Amino acid sequence: MENTDHTAENNMLRTELELLIKEREKLLVITGVAAGLIAEINTNDLPIRTVEAADLLSTSINQLPEETLQDALSAVHASIAS
């Protein structure tokens, strides 16, 4: 009985981990696309409310660890221009 409980728990954890990995992959793509959009926009051509939203987005993206940002850019085949 105990072995069955462990197997069920392991299966549940495996399923949850797989869901989290898929969710992370989707979030990396979204973040990569957002970072690419921010890098390409010209704020001089945008209304102030749009610039403020872009600033909020870029601030959030900049708070990511460098490795995560690189993973996000890789997910959309982008790179940071140096």
Higher pLDDT, 79 or 18: 18
Residue 63 has pLDDT above 80, yes or no: yes
CB 36 within 8 A of CB 76: yes
Higher pLDDT: 81 or 51? It is 51
Q: What's the pTM?
A: 0.80
Whether the predicted pLDDT of 25 surpasses 60: yes
Q: Where are the domains of the chain?
A: 2-75
Q: In this predicted structure, what is the pLDDT of residue 82?
A: 42
